[in-house]
Amino acid sequence: MIPTPHIEAKNQNEIAKTVLMPGDPLRAKFIADTFLEDVVQFNEVRNMLGYTGTYKGRKISVMASGMGMPSIGIYSYELYEFYGVENIIRIGSCGGYTEKVKLYDVILAMDAWSESSYAKVQGGYDKEIIESTESLNVKLTEYAKDLNIPMHRERIHSSDVFYRENFEEYQEIYQKHGCVGVEMEAFALFHNAKVLGKKAACLLTVSDNLATKEATTSEERQNAFTNMMKIALEMAE
């Protein structure tokens, strides 16, 4: 069933087996412009930009997911199920829940805890934690080490809500569930990989910290996020 309602590529070979997924379409463009060679754009539907190119001579794609679980749920499902994609590495930002994770630190999400109904509605999965794929995590850990980039390996919170009325609830989520930070997509991505027999991982850069109240500007983020991008780009094959 390609093209799909949301991705206009006409052939599976337009998209690599491994796709990096930032939330922001302009970040996908930045990665393609900055790091990839022989770039071909394969998607512009809804401006959810997608590109395929080579990194150090190896094929890789990068496509935006949009914000939130419904959005990444659609794009990751279509990439896995209809375009034959095997690996999706989300590369995003997160809010820190503890001072243990500093601004710009990189976190590899070993699993995601969520109160979201995404996995239950999608496939009847009624637990609150979903793991990322161990074999991808092993590789990403090795690449981070080779690149000399320190990386936390922790549980994160995937939230459906950015603006909570009671934002202090983060403290309970950290203490009770052990989540060191919050983002809004990993739980749905990990679930889709699980039901479709595919692989998923998630690298996050801390863009703000709820405990220390520090924040970054969108301009600072662009540059600081290159560490995480370089680790993920090594997944090209």
Give the count of alpha carbons within 13 A of 186, CB side only.
34
In whole angstroms, the minimum distance from the beta carbon of 170 to ligand HPA comes to 8
Question: Of 207, 224, 229, 234, which one interacts with ligand HPA (CB under 6 A)?
Answer: 207
By CB under 6 A, the residues from 111 to 150 that bind ligand HPA are none
Read off the amino acid at residue 106: V
CA dihedral 199, 37, 203, 129 (to 10 degrees): -20
The site for ligand HPA, by CB under 6 A, has a size of: 10
Is 126 considered catalytic here? no
95 binds ligand HPA (CB under 6 A): yes
Minimum distance of ligand HPA from residue 204's CB (angstroms): 8
Of 89, 179, 85, the residue nearest 136 (C-alpha): 89
Q: Any idea which residue has 């337009």 for tokens?
A: 14
Contact between 109 and ligand HPA by CB under 6 A: the answer reads no
Burial of 198 (0-12, 13-18, 19+ CB in 10 A): buried
Closest CA to 182 of 145, 152, 209, 201: 209
Which 3 state secondary structure label does DSSP give 212? coil
Of the two residues 8 and 160, which places its CB atom closer to ligand HPA in the complex?
A: 160
| C-beta closer to ligand HPA: residue 36 or 186 | 186
- 124 CB neighbour count, 10 Å cutoff: 8
The answer to the question of residue 228 lying near ligand HPA (CB under 6 A) is no
**Among residue numbers 149 through 188, which ones bind ligand HPA (CB under 6 A)?**
159, 162, 182-184
* Residues near 170 by beta carbon (within 8 Å), at least 6 away in sequence: 95, 97, 157, 182, 210, 211
- In whole angstroms, how close is the CB of 58 to ligand HPA at the nearest point? 29
Closer residue to ligand HPA (CB): 88 or 182: 182
Does position 66 interact with ligand HPA (CB under 6 A)? The reply is: no
Tell me how far, at minimum, the Cβ of 154 lies from ligand HPA, in Å: 15
Q: Does 93 contact ligand HPA by CB under 6 A? A: yes
Minimum separation from the CB atom of position 205 to ligand HPA (A) = 9
Structure token digits, residue 108: 């590899």
Q: Which residues in this chain contact ligand HPA in the complex, by CB under 6 A? A: 93-95, 159, 162, 182-184, 207-208
Task: Enumerate the active-site residues.
Answer: 208
